[in-house]
Structure 1
Amino acid sequence: MKNLLYILAFLLSQGLIAQTALYNSGNIRIHDEGQIGFHTNLINNAAFDQNLGLAGFYGSSTISVSGAFMPIFYDTEIANEQGVLLNTPLSVSSNNNFIVGNFITPRQERDVYFNFLPNAFYVGESNASKVDGYVTINDQQNFIFPVGDAEYLRSLTLNSSSNNSLARCAYYYENPANPASFSESFDPSRKPRTMGDISAVEFWHLEGGVSSTIQISWNQRSNMGDLTDDAAKIIPVGWSISAGAWVNLGAATVVGDLEQGFVISESFIPNDFAIITFSAEATAKELLTLDNYLVTPNGDGVNDALYIEELELSNDDTISIFNRNGQKVYEEANYTNGFTGYSNVDNLVINREAGLPNGVYFYLIAMKDLDLNYQGYLYLEH
């Protein structure tokens, strides 16, 4: 017969106030095929790390785990709708079974987490049962972090080039620009022009020192329609710690529509980024408010050629430049910053070798692959 121990309560009294808890001071151990069912708080003040069998968290009231030592269980499971609040880390060395309820960690304390030791795994994760807070892994290469918030499972899949001695992850249903429970905020305007708006809904915090790819998903609550009207344009982005700005992590694969889907990133090192969330590639229409330009080809390295950054978005463009009399003085397909004040058109340009005269010129740009056309002015001054 399995060694079955149900911990119901140890009653402590202080005046009229009563609190139930199991205090472990070093004389509890779960043997092979043994089972222990926690229906009350666990205060772990001694080593609790040679366990086998199953430790389950049950009942209909929130259970807290606290104390000076991290309990290390073999198999664990949770069947408690009110959840298990971790005030100290908890480790599992074999399997965790998510049934009902969340393991909850305080996000402001990243050193409190649900920890999967080498080769540990889990089953049964769902919106109803997951880790609402931080999960860590030890000496594992590939892992799906069963993280989320109180309402939804919002897993992050980590695929690394080698084992992570330690990797840590949590999901935040908060605006990165003004998070409620994260110690930093992240300016959505600090991004390249080729990147659209940054998600104001959610983000992940991921730590790891090994080059990795990630997979993150979106659902209806993610409001991806606020970022783009084309799911294929969705990209994962991270806040670069060194640059202090948002960086495109690269979308190797994008699957889904604006209601639900997922994206797989290119390789990066998680520790280089403070948080990760969604953005979208900026469309040409969003970017192309073309300006009037100054060209001063005097060799000082500033405005020596006509440079139009937005043309990098097109793979089939042409530019034509005209003087004030409507005479074409320059033309180039797939423009590569070639205009430096000299004509390349074989017509009646006078003193071609001396360069075009100073003054105002008119440009026309066609981006054929994007079905966009623009016009504007430039001022040439030698």
Structure 2
Amino acid sequence: MKGNWENNASFDSGKGQVQFSGNSKQSIFSGGDYFADVLFDNITLGSNDIELLDNMQIEGEAIFNNGIVNLNSFNLNFGDTASSVVSTDESFVNGIVTKTGQSAFVFPVGEVGEEDGVPYAVCGPVGIDAPSTPSNISAEYFFAKPPFNNWKEGMCDLEEMHNASGVEYWMLNSDGDHPDVTLYWLDGDRSGIIDASKLVVAHYDDDVNQDCWNNKGGSIVFADEVPVAVKSEIPFLSYSPITFGTITHINPLPVELIEFVAECDSDNSVKIEWITATEINNDYFVLERSFNTKDWIKIDKLAGAGNSNTSQVYNIEDNNINGTVYYRLLQVDYDGQNSYSKTIQTNCYNWNVEPRISVYPNPFNNLIKLNLYDFEEECANIEIVDLFGQVLINSEVNLQGNETSLDLFLGDLPPAVYILRVKTSSGFIIKRIEKL
């Protein structure tokens, strides 16, 4: 069908297949009745393709071909004998999917969002083995860094696992059994997967009262002789969060940049800065520019730090820019392996004055004086961020226009390097600070 599904009476699905194949937005109101087989094949451009207007129950096979299903805070539940077929970023469920019963299942989950003004739609299927007892198991996918340290200090045992993904993770919950899980990737470059044989399933838990990432083992799943997933081998006592882990640095999974920002000056010059927490076999960076996110050109090439356990700061200036411009980084290892960063953007107009900040003293002991110049009169957020991207301090301040002065007491922070970030409605400015 090409229109909306609105069941205000009674619907007997039998063994038939309902096809949602519209070329405009479709809505589904189940009216309390379940579906047998379903084909999602909506070809609307964008990610607002199909929406639920009440809870939806599927008892047969659901094929996700085209169209993203948005839940609108309702539930999409699969019955005991249900199954799903999902294999593309063009079609998945944006939200939590629940499976009831005692059979194996692949959750057709993904996430729709926007990063630095650039929209994305990413599919991240996750499978479970058949539970040993009837269970309600739910899964949700996040295209974001997990909410815990994914690098060395966050591992339970560095001899068992080098690092966890800094790109994506899954949240699973169960009211019964916790069967083995299978994590799928649709784009190895996006997920930072170079050598699948070194992958494992990483689970952040406190089963051993450590609050760290545990290695749950990994057997590689192949499709047409191509690796497509990794399956856990060590039993779970609990779920969430779960992501890819690697036993070697070869899979960067990628190590997340602490900061990657671009800001336009009054003379239409863009200052691009990025900061890395650690680097392994990093030969060089290539900065690329685009005005449409499709056609990219090389702007500059900067040598990397090779191997480094300390933060590194890189800067490039791009001149004579007008309008909205996009940037991305290509990071290349000594062996030629490479991966792209996220895409960032900024807008260049003929500004009369450029907002700026100053920090004194820097390095500091306990107190810093922050001066903010030539900002709009508005509310701003002042953040202190550590080198793992965690926001440690977040406070609001009313900017006074030409100049605003603040005293920030940071005596409770341990000695380390931090990022001071000033966020306003028009963007943000960062400053690297160090506490002695």
TM-score w.r.t. the length of structure 2 is 0.45
CA deviation map 1:112-155 (0-9, x unaligned): 33211121223465332222322211113211222233544322
Partner of 1:63: 26
CA deviation map 1:258-278 (0-9, x unaligned): x96432211323x71321111
- Cα 1:221–1:70 change in 2 (3 A) is farther
Partner of 2:351: none
Partner of 1:28: 9
Secondary structure of 1:162 counterpart: coil
Q: Distance in 1 between matches of 2:170 and 2:138?
A: 10
Q: CA deviation at 1:98?
A: 2.7
- Cα 1:7–1:57 change in 2 (3 A) is closer
User: How many residues are aligned here?
Assistant: 227
Paired AA for residue 264 in structure 1: K
Secondary structure of 1:204 counterpart: strand
Partner of 1:223: 192
Q: Distance in 1 between matches of 2:63 and 2:41?
A: 9
2:125 pairs with 1:155: yes
Paired AA for residue 89 in structure 1: N
Q: CA deviation at 1:245?
A: 1.9
Paired AA for residue 147 in structure 1: V
Within the candidate set 38, 63, 74, 1:97 is matched to 63
Alignment map for 1:3-82 (pairs within 5 Å):
22=6, 24=7, 27-31=8-12, 53-65=16-28, 70-82=32-44
Q: CA deviation at 1:240?
A: 0.4
CA contact (8 A) 1:148 1:171 kept: yes
Q: Distance in 2 between matches of 1:61 and 1:163?
A: 42
Identity percentage over the alignment?
Answer: 25
CA deviation map 1:273-299 (0-9, x unaligned): 32111122257xx9xxxxxxxxxxxxx
| Structure with greater helix share of residues | 1
CA contact (8 A) 1:141 1:163 kept: no
Secondary structure of 1:81 counterpart: coil
CA contact (8 A) 2:52 2:70 kept: yes
Q: Distance in 1 between matches of 2:63 and 2:231?
A: 27
Q: Distance in 2 between matches of 1:223 and 1:140?
A: 33
Partner of 1:336: none
Partner of 1:130: 92
Partner of 2:145: 175
Alignment map for 1:196-275 (pairs within 5 Å):
196-208=162-174, 209-218=176-185, 219-224=188-193, 230-242=195-207, 243=209, 244-253=211-220, 261-269=228-236, 272-275=238-241
CA contact (8 A) 1:30 1:53 kept: no
CA contact (8 A) 1:158 1:212 kept: yes
Paired AA for residue 141 in structure 1: S
Q: Distance in 2 between matches of 1:231 and 1:75?
A: 34
CA contact (8 A) 1:191 1:245 kept: yes
2:108 pairs with 1:146: yes
* Structure 2: runs of 5 or more not aligned: 113-120, 250-279, 281-436
| Structure with greater strand share of residues | 2
CA deviation map 1:222-245 (0-9, x unaligned): 0135xxxx5433221111055422
Q: Distance in 2 between matches of 1:142 and 1:172?
A: 22
- Cα 1:86–1:281 change in 2 (3 A) is same
* Structure 1: runs of 5 or more not aligned: 1-5, 10-20, 34-51, 177-184, 287-382
Q: CA deviation at 1:199?
A: 1.0
Paired AA for residue 66 in structure 2: V
Q: Distance in 1 between matches of 2:2 and 2:230?
A: 44
CA contact (8 A) 1:130 1:146 kept: yes
- Cα 1:71–1:281 change in 2 (3 A) is same
CA contact (8 A) 2:13 2:36 kept: no
TM-score w.r.t. the length of structure 1 is 0.51
- Cα 1:88–1:28 change in 2 (3 A) is closer
Q: Distance in 2 between matches of 1:101 and 1:122?
A: 15
Q: Distance in 1 between matches of 2:67 and 2:181?
A: 26
